[in-house]
Amino acid sequence: MNSKFEEFLSIFQQELIDDKINAQTEFKNHKNWSSLISLIIITEIENKTGILIDIDSLRNSKAIEELYESCKNSI
């Protein structure tokens, strides 16, 4: 994985307070997932990586890696 993905993943781990989260984690099923957390994650990812997460990608993605792949070209 590249460093941008590592940062992307790190934000999910930090905001969901779970260092066991990995690329295949289905983030919307995580016990700490909420609409507020999703907004925080979207903002942190944009600020730290420049990747813009659109609502359709967020809605249609299950795993973190899938979300990253659908949004990584938005830089």
The answer to whether 63 and 43 are in contact (CB under 8 A) is no
Residue 1 banded pLDDT, cuts 50, 70, 90: low
- Tens digits of residue pLDDT in 44-75: 999 999 999 999 999 999 999 999 999 988 76
Please tell me the class of the 3-74 domain.
Answer: mainly alpha
Distance, CA of 58 to CA of 66 (rounded, Å): 9
pTM of the model: 0.93
11: helix, strand or coil: helix
The three-class DSSP label of residue 4 is: helix
The pLDDT mean for the chain works out to 95
- Taking the domains of the chain in order of start, what are their residue ranges? 3-74
